Amino acid sequence: MIVTVALFGIGAWQRRWIADDGLIVLRTVRNLLAGNGPVFNAGERVETNTSAAWTYVIWFFSWISNARLEYVGLTVALTLSLLAIVFAMVGSARLWRPFTTGAPTLLLPAGALVYIAVPPARDYATSGLENCLVIFWLGVLWWLLLRWSQDEKPRLANLLVAGFWAGLCWVIRPEMTVIGGLALVVLFFSPMPRTRLRPMLIRALLVVVGGAVSVGYQIWRMGYYGLPYPNTAVAKEAGGAKWGQGLKYLWDLVGPYYLWIPLLVLIVVAAVLIRSRRGGAAAETTGEARRSARVQQWLRSPAAVVTVLVGGGLLLVVFNMRVGGDFMHGRMLLPQLFCLMLPVSVLPVRLPARGAGRSGWLRWSFAVPALAWVGTIGWALFAANTTANTSGGQISASGIVDERVYYVLNSGHDHPVLAEDYLDYPRMRAMLQDIAATPNGGLLINSPSFMMWYVAPPPLPIPPGGYGHTVYFLNLGMTSMNVPLSVRVIDQEGLAYPLAAHTDRLADGRIGHDKNLYPDWVIVDTGMVDQHPWMPWFLDQRWVQQARTALSCPATQDLLASYRAPLTWDRFKHNIIQSLHFAKYRIDRVPKYEIQRCHLVDPTAPLPAPN
């Protein structure tokens, strides 16, 4: 275990970085520390981070350490990633405990090596994203469930602790509810510990403990943000279906590394070992009295735990394929791979007894696992040194890119960790220069050629202290972390800008970037001068006029008020009631069509001719 964790730590450190999306999390933490609340822009209640728990973990360690946020994120991410491997291997050792009796047995790292050998696993061990927290949560859940299932005398404390940890699924990442929900079902219907409390009372207590954090946070989220899930799920249409793109994303990870080979080998070997064990115990189970009793007994068994984690992992693979995967090579499939490798994180190899001679070394109980382990080592050496996704310098036609290499090449830093490392990314220094050159404020819009910034000025008179700046750009992390919190940063994709998030998805857009709100809307929304020659030349005054009318749609105004209006008790209740409606609400990004959808009058339409 020490060797495996050390290899993972060394490999992750050699590829250390903080992704642009990781910097997005830090912007929210900055606002939390500044007293503005868990928001991306002060005064706008928008949840830009998919993992609520990750935001507060970074906030907590930043608060107690008072260290620089990038270093906090890097340290916490690497620590949780390494601990995830520890819990995976310790849990797997518990699983194979019955196979270690009667003969000396080696527990050799296998599935754990498969996971750490895949380059994306090392990339996202320090990326500032929540992958580290997700696999840590999975590893601890795996260990807790196995400890609970193997207790000779079921303990109430073990049951409740496992239930509480499983119940965190919704705040870890919403899709982790698949695994956490399955775990809670298994715990709820399994035999209850014998205590002074009645079984139904224990089950009720389990429900309360398991749902306390997630249900409490969900109520708060709906009232505070006005949505039933993070705004990122709206921006990326997590409920949509892009099966073809999802299959490409799956193969982008599995194919180049030949990942199916160690998966198949380790699963077959594990099945053989389990079958051999069941053969000796078959006579003990043939006399079970009642089917329901057998089912309940099975629910509190290591087999049920394996089913929850592996089955949940496979369901998440299907879910990931349905939504179209992601644009980052391998990232969204790493938790699924981690789940599939949990049972075989270590592999039992039974050594021959003393004096067994050559025949002992040829017995299948030693030879088959040993050969599988040697083959896994060989594959791991191959995979760890393979460059699978070569789309680092530019984005490929599939839209999938090696995110770390992309930012390394475009920033000119081998390890872009600090926010200022991204100042060498194209247009970043120019953005700071334009902000400094316009003390009255304004809206910074990138040119159509992505070569320069245009600043749309605010209307006169300028208030004391200036009108403030708004930056409209796709790369939210590097942009927002290199400007003060007083600078509003929004994006055309909609991660931090609900108006863009609630537009319809572009059918053929790049996965994860298939929304793009025209800047005409932003001119109106920010109140900048909407006429030439002050307005950027490439914007159409007719479109801006239409956008002004389209924004007056009552339903759209209600959406904007859900996160911009002062948070009163009435607003909180209204947001809870309307959160599902807000989640489904969509606008057309073409102002003319949005006017038609909302049954408004087009201000640019010619007046009808008199009779």
Token digits for 521? 């809307």
CA angle 43, 45, 47 (to 5 degrees): 140
At 11 the pLDDT is 96
Q: Which residues pair with 44 in a beta bridge?
A: 41
Residue 607: pLDDT band with limits 50, 70, 90: low
CA angle 104, 105, 106 (to 5 degrees): 135
User: For 351-373, what is the mean pLDDT?
Assistant: 71
**Residues making up the chain, counted from first to last:** 611
What percent of the chain clears pLDDT 70, i.e. is strictly above it?
93
CA–CA dist 12, 371 (Å, integer): 28
At 280 the pLDDT is 43
382-386, 467-471, 544-548, range with the lowest pLDDT: 382-386
Token digits for 554? 């009552």
At 545 the pLDDT is 94
- What is the tens place of the pLDDT at every residue in 479-498? 999 999 999 999 999 999 99
* CB within 8 Å of 263: residues ≥ 6 apart: 114, 340
Q: From 133, 115, 118, 106, select the one nearest 25 (Cα to Cα).
A: 133
- Please give the torsion angle defined by the CA atoms of residues 298, 299, 301 and 303, in that order, rounded to the nearest 10 degrees: 80
CA–CA dist 515, 492 (Å, integer): 7
The phi, psi pair for 455, rounded to 5°, reads: -110, 110
Q: Is the pLDDT of residue 285 over 50?
A: no
Give the helix, strand, coil percentages of the chain, each rounded to 5.
60, 5, 35
The tokens 């965190």 sit on which residue? 168
CA–CA dist 304, 320 (Å, integer): 24
Token digits for 1? 């275990």
Mapped onto helix, strand or coil, the DSSP state of residue 349 is strand
Q: With the C-alpha atoms ordered 499, 501, 503, 506, is the resulting torsion angle positive or negative? A: positive
Token digits for 213? 């954090």
Q: Is the pLDDT of residue 334 over 50?
A: yes
